[in-house]
Copies of this chain bind each other. A is one copy, B any other.
Amino acid sequence: MTACDTCLVRNRAICSSLDTEELKALNNIGRRRTLTPGESLMWEGEDSVLVANVIEGVLKLSTGTEDGREQIVGVVYPSDFIGRPFGATSGHGVTALTEARVCVFSRKDFDAFAREHPALEHKLLQRTLAELDRTRRWMLLLGRKSAGEKLASFLLEMSERLVQPGCIDAPDLPLRQFALPFSRQQVADVLGLTIETVSRQFTRLKADGIIDLPSRREVVILDREGLAAEAG
């Protein structure tokens, strides 16, 4: 009996490639950790000492310029993998946006384990390829879309990615209503905008009847068609 047996992401994370014995071995080199919102698991430029699986919660990956401009370069959800295996440094910071639980490994231990378990490396490769696809799609948004298109695209992606899996009765359809795990500043940092511009676009979408904002963090998509049209 290990912590993995009751793990929420047991069948979706890269661990799903392992049998019971292997899982037990992996469990031995890992440990659980809880993060509070705002708490960081690793920092940009730091030696790559840790890797982890996300069990619960949402975390951001971010880099910045020396003069303090920040850019969120990725957002990770339960079952996603974080950290830089087989590499020296981490390239971006990892910070919890919500309360979060992760399964942490020393990078060296993980690297060694992975090299001995090709099925695990295969899962990791699949995940990395999918993440690269997603990241490249995001580049189109950053490089070529207007503020309005950026926010609309972002809200659509949120409605798809924030789906809580495991609810059998509720199929994995995009959500109509959800709680943003981001502050306005963080939305701005994802989209490459300022907080003021983000705020103005939120109020415009609301005024146009495309979304509703019951509270600062709550979003209701009233007109998904319209939102998709706004996304360009």
Q: Which residues of A contact B (CB under 8 A)?
A: 61, 63-67, 69-71, 73-74, 84-87, 91-92, 115, 118, 121-122, 124-126, 128-133, 135-140, 142-145, 191-192, 232
Contacts and interface: CB of A to CB of B under 8 A. Distances in A.
Given A65-B232, A87-B129, 6 more contacts: A61-B136, A64-B140, A66-B232, A74-B136, A84-B129, A135-B139
Contact of A73 (B61, B84, B139, B192): B139
Contact of A132 (B132, B137, B139): B132
B63 A133 contact: no
Contacts of A61: 136
Given A61-B136, A121-B122, A136-B135, A192 B129 contact: no
Contacts of A66: 232
Number of copies: 2
A73 B139 CA distance: 6
Contacts of A140: 63-65, 71, 73
B69 A144 contact: yes
Contacts of A138: 139
A73 B232 contact: no
Contacts of A84: 129, 133
5 contacts: A71-B144, A74-B136, A91-B137, A118-B121, A131-B132
A84 B191 CA distance: 26
A144 B128 CA distance: 25
A144 B73 CA distance: 11
A191 to B, nearest CB: 7
B142 A143 contact: yes
Contact of A126 (B63, B71, B86, B122): B86
A228 to B, nearest CB: 11
Contacts of A126: 86
B143 A91 contact: no
A24 B148 CA distance: 53
Contact of A121 (B64, B65, B125): B125
